[in-house]
Chains A and B, each alone.
Chain A
Amino acid sequence: MANPLGRYLLALDGSALPSRELIGGKAWSVARMLSLKLRVPPAVVITTDACRAYLETGSVPAELATELDAAIAWLEAATGRQFGGDKPLLVSVRSGAAISMPGMMDTVLNLGINDHTEAALAAEAGDDTFARDTHRRFLELYASIVLKATLGENTPHDPRSLREEIAAQGDAVPEAPRAQLLAAVNAVFDSWNSRRARRYRQHHGIADSLGTAVTVQAMVFGNLDERSGTGVLFSRNPLTGDLAPYGEYLHRAQGEDVVSGRFTPEPLSALQASAPAVHAQLMQAAATLESENADVQDIEFTVQHGELFLLQTRSAKRAPQAAVRFAVDMVEEGRIDTRTALARVQAEQIRTLLKPRLADGATHGATLLAEGEPACQGVGAGVVVTDSDSAEQRAEAGEAVVLARGTTSPEDVHGMIAAHAVITEQGGATSHAAVVSRALGVPCIVGCGTGALAALNGQAVTVDANTGHIYAGLLPVVTPDESDDPRLAKLHAWAVAASPITVLRDGEPGADAAFDLAELEGGEDPEQLPALLAGKTCVRGGAIESDAGVAAALAAGVKTIVARHPLPVLLAAIHGAAP
């Protein structure tokens, strides 16, 4: 067991790995990094036992208050800082059950700050603005998360007025760090019984008695001096799948600065140049974590006074191309088996890779008519129509149309469904057109500029929503194929071997026998497929290639699907059949 500080508290020191049930998922991942001898900011965890006692009696167990003092002393010793002191220790407080669920308390950061520690932090960092900003961020988070106050948009920035404004709404934010900590712990336990958490547990059959743990971890700062900074590292490139680690580093900055986009990060080579030893440690840590987790990792880190701390690691999000490359490469490196590789590539990712795109050189010499911000990627071509009713009518008559609007509203949805692409003059990434086209999977470019599109009415155009360019005429478009790329071909072969059903391409022997769902009323509606598929063994068309269509086919005992692209169907079948 890690290092017990009492009945309800453990200090995480890497000595042993406690169970997820006892310390929750977040503390468990911290403990795991420690057990791999990686440097993580010191942390203690209040176990789920304390939560269960709280749920039974309605109050924090008496021993916990005493144990918290021991925990703070442990954190102070581990960091060389003091909670509420002249070299202030600030902490984060997180909820964490064995299974993560919605409705649980969000993380409170920078807890332990008040007027006194703000001044101490300002002196230490030589930066008044940073200290005041840290204080303000804490007050805002504490107010919304622990006190559930709703602060308006024009809240004051200086901590004193902000504290007054919060107090005017009900409870005040305590000055004393220890009181802040106790209240935050209580709020975590209370969140276990929030409406959403209860509902989620009920729906997923999770016992109410599982309880949540509370992780209290020392904050580290990437902006304390010239030898400090913060960044993120992917153990391989998440866009291309390339083997080289990929990341960003912000010199003398905090984690929030990376997320906020207010600062321009540098590539990791900047860290390599300024602190080669730290960079080498980081690369070593990335290799260890990738190897231990047998998957590409997304690692958040901070360098404080030249010392590297890992904050978090998780399986990296990845672009479709990278998903394929990671999966195939890791099989070849002997890290995973083909079954795991297939589980890591989604049908949707392959559909994206196999979407039609402009042929190489297609835009050479083409006339660029307009350009805007790509909102939903893809390529679509057709005649420009400027009202949604005509777009729908002409599409029904078999014409390929591109819908061009100033902006779109709910009145345009039917026209957007009918169009091969949607282009708008006004609006950005969050506009109605952008949101709805992404939901529909229709290529879309927004914000081409007032007056930029109306004149195109009636003209044939090609919309390249990968780049945001609209070209005159119908440019040559190619549809990629599974066999074009050696890795896709390999994945395809594994998928054929693992699939519970046979998937044929058009024209292959046996494909002619397929029953075409497109001939039936409702064949495009996945909800109607169970009824339509009864008794069929070989099917094509309609909604059969969608995830829901494949699921319905599996349930109905269909043996063979004929598809334009077999791989997404195979993957959907493999994932749908897995327990």
Chain B
Amino acid sequence: MNVHTHLALHGVAVKKHGSAAAIADLLGADEAVIAACLADATARGRAAEVGGRYLLTPAGRMIVEAEYSRHYAAARADQGFLAAHTRFESVNHELKQLITDWQTINIGGRQLANDHSDAAYDGKIIHRLGTLHDKAVPVLKALATSLPRFARYLDKLEAALGRVEDGERAWFSDATIASYHTVWFELHEDILRVLGRAREE
């Protein structure tokens, strides 16, 4: 599998049910190239297309996973990338707690769903997200030094953070849009695939 095809299918693995445009956007790649690769992969039975959105077939999934070590040998041997990944996991741990604090609220000792009726509480969590983001920026820049396409994630995270800070709450953790959490999670998935590591819950 050539490098473009692998990248396109990797994009499908990270952004399942994405359109060619969404996958190209995720990867920072040329949409026409990605669309051609996906059409070809679909013809070969490695991907399936439903209404312009793609997912991997079991065979496609196996091939993509088998080839990560070949396409990302450099990243896997890059001490800078590995060190940045370690720091990312530490910030990731904080982010998970932060998202939980955004979604739930402690009332009289019980953890309930945050109905966002307390603007001061939300303001504090948004403040913490900004602080966490400031901490994540050097880590993401370090990742992008080794793999330049990772710079896309930083742009997307900054866009989501900006919308949250401007009062659009959904951009914090809504799973159906490119919210801070959605982008972060895709980034995490991307890194784990590149390194061939398993997610730890």
A residues neighboring B (CB under 8 Å) = 100, 102-103, 150, 153, 196, 199-200, 203, 234, 237-239, 246, 248, 314-315, 317-320, 322-323, 346, 348-349, 352, 376-377, 389, 407, 409-411, 413-414, 416-417, 426-432, 434-436, 438-440
Contacts and interface: CB of A to CB of B under 8 A. Distances in A.
B110 A376 contact: no
Nearest to A150: B135
B2 interface: no
B115 A414 contact: no
Given A102-B130, A346-B115, A435 B103 contact: yes
Interface of B: 13-17, 55, 90, 96-97, 99-100, 103-105, 107-113, 115-118, 120-121, 123, 126-127, 130, 135, 162, 165-166, 173-176, 179, 181-182, 185-186, 189, 199, 201
B165 A430 contact: no
Contact of B127 (A102, A348, A407, A440): A102
A376 B166 contact: no
A153 B189 contact: no
Given A409-B199, A434-B100, A199 B112 contact: no
Listed residue (A199, A389, A409) with the most chain B CB atoms within 10 angstroms of its CB: A409
25 contacts: A100-B123, A196-B127, A196-B165, A239-B110, A248-B109, A317-B118, A348-B115, A348-B117, A349-B115, A349-B117, A389-B55, A410-B16, A410-B185, A410-B189, A411-B16, A413-B16, A417-B175, A426-B201, A430-B100, A435-B100, A435-B103, A436-B175, A439-B174, A439-B179, A440-B175
A417 B162 CA distance: 26
Given A203-B165, A319-B107, A429-B100, A435 B173 contact: yes
B197 to A, nearest CB: 13
Contacts of B103: 435, 438-439
A323 B111 contact: no
A409 B117 contact: no
Given A200-B165, A434-B100, A410 B14 contact: yes
Given A199-B162, A410-B185, A435-B99, 14 more contacts: A102-B127, A102-B165, A203-B166, A239-B110, A318-B107, A319-B110, A323-B117, A409-B189, A410-B182, A417-B175, A429-B104, A431-B201, A435-B181, A439-B174
Contacts of B162: 199
Contact of A427 (B107, B123, B166, B201): B201
Contacts of A196: 127, 130, 165
Contacts of B105: 317
A65 to B, nearest CB: 30
A100 B123 CA distance: 9
Contacts of A426: 201
Contacts of B186: 410
A239 B108 contact: yes
Contacts of B15: 410
Contact of A103 (B90, B107, B127): B127
A196 to B, nearest CB: 5
Given A196-B165, A203-B165, A102 B16 contact: no
Listed residue (A319, A427, A428) with the most chain B CB atoms within 10 angstroms of its CB: A319
B54 to A, nearest CB: 12
A440 B185 CA distance: 15
A206 to B, nearest CB: 13
Q: Which 5 A-B pairs have the closest CB atoms?
A: A427-B201, A430-B96, A438-B103, A102-B127, A348-B115
B141 to A, nearest CB: 15
Nearest to A153: B90
A417 B90 contact: no
Contacts of B100: 429-430, 434-435
